[in-house]
Amino acid sequence: MSHRHMICPGPAGGTRRAWLSALLLALALVTLAVLRPSGAVASVGISLGVTFPTSVTVGQTDVTARLQIRNTSTAPNQSEGLVLNQIVIVPSCGTVMSGACSMPDPGVFSLAPTASGDAGTACAGRSFTVSPPDASQRVFLTAQGGSVVIPPPSSGTNTCDISLLVSVRKQPTIDTDPPTAGVQTRLFTSVTGTSSISGLTVTTRVSTYTTVLRPTRPDANGDGSVTSTDALCILRLLGGFAATAACPNPLPLPDVNLSGAVDSVDALCVLRFLGRFARVANCPYDPPA
Ligand SMILES: [Ca+2]
Ligand SMILES: [Ca+2]
């Protein structure tokens, strides 16, 4: 599986460095903000890379998104740890403006409630609570058991990598990349850190583009095959019956015809795919040839 990988540095410094930052901003669709007391000469930096598949399919569950957050501080701040004080994700964003997601596209992705720090990084063994989306569709990751401090570059472990699990619920309403074939959305991520000694705060943001494909088969329970169990699972869901091993709740793809609602047509659609009916209205699947 291929991935798009973006590393976006966010240092603070003099005029030349600011120009370089502006260039990187244009290249990598990144904005950064550096807040510092006037007159301070400092180079506190943070960078963010986000790895996520360039293409996913509606109904996929537990797709890994990986955030790679680095303390990139340089002299005279090269020995300072960076306290991670905010990690924000808008899981599916249609438009980014002025460094924020100005038009979220809710419901495309859902995130598992807990994310975990990756082995071999400063966040190894750490867990992060993933909040439900707020009114602006922002999801906040909060470290359990106290703040994370990313050690300085000189320590050799100046990276905090965090993995979170993403489920693909529906196709985007907004195609965020019209020139590219298919329908794209973007994972919009923002991280903020404060240097442990000088107290300077840095922020960097990344947009990661992903094509969201329609499913090719009505595999409602996501077990990899289409059988009458998929129809049964939809009927169980509609009847309010308890989940079973074969019919988990939530079902990965209950709305198999992507109409926007789960109803009995979805169960009929599965049976159409299995060749039990000559035709079902509003069902995009024919039996495999
Ligand atoms: Ca497109
Ligand atoms: Ca199935």
Per-residue pLDDT of the chain (289 residues; tens, 9 = 90+): 444 444 545 444 444 555 444 444 433 433 343 444 444 456 999 999 999 999 999 989 999 999 999 999 999 999 999 999 999 999 999 999 999 999 999 999 999 999 999 999 999 999 999 999 999 999 999 999 999 999 999 888 999 999 999 999 999 999 999 999 999 999 999 999 999 999 999 999 999 999 999 999 999 999 999 999 999 999 999 999 999 999 998 899 999 998 889 999 999 999 999 999 989 999 989 999 8
Minimum-distance ligand to the CA of 174? 1
Q: Which domain holds residue 170?
A: 3-213
| pTM attached to this predicted model | 0.80
Q: Do residues 38 and 77 both lie within one domain? A: yes
Minimum-distance ligand to the CA of 254? 2
| Centre of ligand 1 from the C-alpha of residue 175, in Å | 5
Burial class from Cβ neighbours inside 10 Å (0-12, 13-18, 19+) for residue 98 reads exposed
| Centre of ligand 1 from the C-alpha of residue 212, in Å | 10
Q: Do residues 111 and 221 both lie within one domain? A: no
Q: Do residues 186 and 225 both lie within one domain? A: no
Q: Which two tokens stand for residue 86?
A: 């905010």
Domain end position, chosen among 169, 186, 213: 213
Which residues place a Cβ less than 5 A from the ion ligand 2?
A: 219, 221, 223, 230
140 CB contacts (<8 Å, ≥6 apart)?
86, 87, 88, 130, 131, 134
Minimum-distance ligand to the CA of 212? 1
Q: Do residues 200 and 273 both lie within one domain? A: no
Minimum-distance ligand to the CA of 233? 2
| Centre of ligand 1 from the C-alpha of residue 95, in Å | 13
Query: For the chain, how many structural domains are there in total?
Result: 2
What are the φ/ψ torsions at residue 250 (nearest 5 degrees)?
-80, 150
CA–CA dist 153, 252 (Å, integer): 42
